[in-house]
Amino acid sequence: MIHILKKIIKTFPFLFVVIFINYQTSAKDRLIIGTSTSTYDSGLMSYLEDSFEKEFNYNLDVISKGTGQILEIAKIGLIDILIVHHEKSEKEFMINGYGKKRYKIMYNDYVIVGPKDDPAKISEAKNLEDALKNIYNSDSLFISRSDNSGTHFKEIELWKFAKIDTLLFGPKYKKIGSGMGATLNLTNNIRAYTITDRSTWATFKNKENLKILFEGSTKLFNQYSLILVNQKKGLLKNSMQEIFVKWILSQNGEKLINNYKINNSQLFYFNGEHYIN
């Protein structure tokens, strides 16, 4: 079901709300998870979906969009649980009463990728600030997702950290308003630089011109949170939300997340506290 929902939203961005509401009225045992594109594109959500449905015989459906977009969808009541990765946006969501509980669940990190010959010499930078300044001071292009995703928000924060105004980039700074896969495709095709989460990079195929050129800074830490949408604005019973939360924050959930690997590389690291009722 995960691929069907994603296709509906992508193809009919302004009509999916009505379709989805009608779809929900006939589905009693169905939990709707809203998540970032990174957890979907990496294959993690399909992996968790299969495990959950086998254990509980509940249908788990997933809506995958950038964090900013998925939070907006949750505000109108079409999502029961969120798995997202931008702390400031998450806290605003909670403060405004849209969420009732928020938990840390897992983490990975961001990396900066670019042409293998590294014309901006960011691989030689001593720290993240210098790496970003090297891109700015070079003739190289930088591709921004510019889609209000968690990765886009992180990118904005990193430029501010480096005291760089992206408006001064001029035509070297390309805003494309696309997901991570499309951003990496363009970055590869025109031999530019971009910031990506490591999980999407690990599963991305079209990267013959690219490589990881900077990684390891604490500023590139990528925390994911689990949010229970306020039941007044949600669609399903509290009990179903609690079942999923207890499951994903259990030792079994920890094992599933930590054991998910691509090419023998772990993509996500559980760091939530085990659920206590």
Model confidence pLDDT, tens digit, residues 47-100: 999 999 999 988 899 999 999 999 999 999 889 999 999 999 999 999 999 999
Tokens of 139: 């003739």
Number of domains in the chain: 2
Q: Report pLDDT for 275.
A: 61
Structural domain range at position 24: 2-107+223-270
Tell me which of 201, 220, 239 is where a domain ends.
220
Residues 99 and 144 in one domain: no
* pTM, to two decimals: 0.85
Is position 265 within any domain?
A: yes
Residues 137 and 97 in one domain: no
Residues 162 and 205 in one domain: yes
Among 22-31, 213-222, 257-266, whose mean pLDDT is lowest?
22-31
Assess whether pLDDT exceeds 90 at residue 23: no
Tokens of 14: 């302004």
Assess whether pLDDT exceeds 50 at residue 8: no
pLDDT band (50, 70, 90) for residue 15: very low
- Check which CATH number belongs to the domain holding 264 and give it: 3.40.190.10
Assess whether pLDDT exceeds 60 at residue 233: no
Tell me the CB-side half-sphere exposure of residue 238, using CA atoms within 13 A.
6
CA distance 1 to 203: 21
**pLDDT tens per residue, range 155-206:** 999 999 999 999 999 999 999 999 999 999 999 999 999 999 999 999 999 9
Tell me the CB-side half-sphere exposure of residue 31, using CA atoms within 13 A.
24
